[in-house]
Amino acid sequence: METIIYENESAMSMVFENLHDATVRVVVSKSRSGEDRVKLYGLVAVSFGLLCILQVTLNIFLHLALCCTILQYTLQACIYRWLYFSGSLYYISSNEKTWQESRKDCLQKDADLIIINNKEEQNFMREFKKYLWIGLTDIETEGKWKWVDGTPLTRSFWGSKEPNGKTLENCGQIKHPDSENNWNDERCSNPHYWICEEKFSP
């Protein structure tokens, strides 16, 4: 162990003073480090709080947007007699028009003539007990039936011996609602009720 011998009391006093200053610096340094840590925790807490407020605000905004969309569709359904079925809204006309005029009316409603995709939708249409224009036509190429969105006909519900009108009957129609297979090709210029479909996507 190394022993240091001081020549006089003055030298020893200086050593003690230096030791005292160093201790104070360490204490002050530790004190500052503690304050910085408190500030950091405070900053993290404030940031977390702001994030929570932003999240709550965003949730409220999204909820309100969803409610407005549903309200819009509900009002539309109430005012214009739209019916909801399996992801779509349907409008049944109360008067009769040609196929082209019927389609024009649907487009003005941001919809189109109905596209029947499956047996459930076909059976839903039968419940209206009316002859109805549907969104099916072979007006471009005789015998090549297409839906109004351009997709070719795959699943069909033609009535017995239909389609039979060749180039004289180019527009699809629901006829004889008592039968599940009840489609008819009809002269497009004849007036009939029609049904519009709009996909429901809130």
Residues making contact with Ca ion (CB under 5 A)? 138, 162, 164-165, 169-170, 184-185
Nearer to Ca ion, 76 or 156 (CB): 156
Strand runs labelled E in the chain:
82-85, 88-92, 112-113, 132-137, 146-147, 171-174, 183-186, 193-199
* Omega before residue 152 within 30° of 0, cis: no
Smallest distance, Ca ion to C-beta of residue 144, A: 9
Smallest distance, Ca ion to C-beta of residue 68, A: 44
Smallest distance, Ca ion to C-beta of residue 173, A: 8
Spatial CB neighbours of 157, under 8 Å, sequence gap ≥ 6: 116, 122, 180, 181, 182, 183
Please give the single-letter amino acid code of residue 44: V
Nearer to Ca ion, 111 or 136 (CB): 136
Smallest distance, Ca ion to C-beta of residue 152, A: 15
Spatial CB neighbours of 103, under 8 Å, sequence gap ≥ 6: 112, 113, 133, 135, 148, 194
Nearer to Ca ion, 102 or 170 (CB): 170
Nearer to Ca ion, 23 or 164 (CB): 164
In whole angstroms, give the CA distance from residue 135 to residue 112: 7
Nearer to Ca ion, 109 or 130 (CB): 130
Instruction: Tell me the three state secondary structure of residue 91.
Output: strand
Nearer to Ca ion, 35 or 180 (CB): 180
Smallest distance, Ca ion to C-beta of residue 159, A: 8
| Residue 66: count of CB within 10 angstroms of its CB | 11
Smallest distance, Ca ion to C-beta of residue 104, A: 20
Cβ neighbourhood burial of 57 (10 Å; 0-12, 13-18, 19+): exposed
